[in-house]
Amino acid sequence: MAKTIDARGRSCPEPVIMTKNALDENPEESFDILVDVEVAVENVTRFAKNSGYKVDVEEDKGYFILHIQK
């Protein structure tokens, strides 16, 4: 089961930093990152892909779920 990180209500670069910290702690684990602004979706997606991860984005009731996996 993927770990969930709730970055809703946080402005960039905080969601990216939270994602980086999670990936640094457990580089092989899958994560779901919750964000509520399009800019955070773009920034976290770019960071994760540049770090070698696959990212799938899902929209749900006014926020986004980024599924990040190796």
Q: pLDDT (tens digit, 9 = 90+) per residue, 13-60?
A: 999 999 999 999 999 999 999 999 999 999 999 999 999 999 999 999
Architecture of domain 3-69: 2-Layer Sandwich (3.30)
Question: What is the DSSP secondary-structure string of 8-65?
Answer: TT--TTHHHHHHHHHHHH-TTS-EEEEE-SHHHHHHHHHHHHHTT-EEEEEEETTEEE
Q: Which residues contact 50 (CB under 8 A, 6 or more apart)?
A: none
Q: Chain centroid to CA 55: how far?
A: 8
Per-residue pLDDT band at 2 (split at 50, 70, 90): confident
Which positions are annotated as active-site residues? 12
Whole-model pTM: value is: 0.93
Q: What is the pLDDT of residue 1?
A: 65
